[in-house]
Amino acid sequence: MKIKKITNPYAFELQQARLDQSVINGKPMVERPYWYENTETGQQYYDLCGCIQWPTKITDSKKERPGYVAVVGVVKSKNEDSPENALFQLMAEGESEDVPTLLNMMISVRSEYGFGLHPNLFEIWFGDPDNFVTTLALKNEKLTAKGGEKQAILITPPNDFYDPNAFEIYFRSLRSCLVKDNHRFFWGKNEILRNRLRGFLRDDPAVMAIGGLIHTLLCRCIWMDQTEGNVFVVEENF
Q: Please report, in tens digits, the pLDDT of each residue of the chain (238 residues total).
A: 899 999 865 545 556 655 656 555 656 667 788 999 999 999 999 999 999 999 998 776 667 899 999 999 999 987 666 888 999 999 999 999 999 999 999 999 999 999 999 999 999 999 999 999 999 999 999 999 988 989 999 999 999 999 999 999 999 999 999 999 999 999 989 999 999 999 888 899 999 999 999 999 999 999 987 776 444 444 556 6
Task: Return phi, psi of residue 233, to 5°.
Answer: -100, 110
**C-beta separation of 158 from 216 below 8 A:** yes
pTM of structure: 0.89
pLDDT at residue 97 in the model = 94
Report the alpha-carbon distance of residue 180 to residue 77 in Å, rounded.
19
Ranges of H-type helices in 26-162: 99-112, 133-147
Around Cβ 150, how many Cβ atoms within 10 Å? Answer: 12
**CB neighbour list of residue 42: distance below 8 Å, 6 or more residues apart:** none
Which pLDDT score is estimated for 234?
45
| pLDDT the model gives residue 123 | 95
Domains and CATH numbers, the chain: 3-233 (3.30.420)
Distance separating alpha carbons of residues 158 and 24, to the nearest angstrom: 32
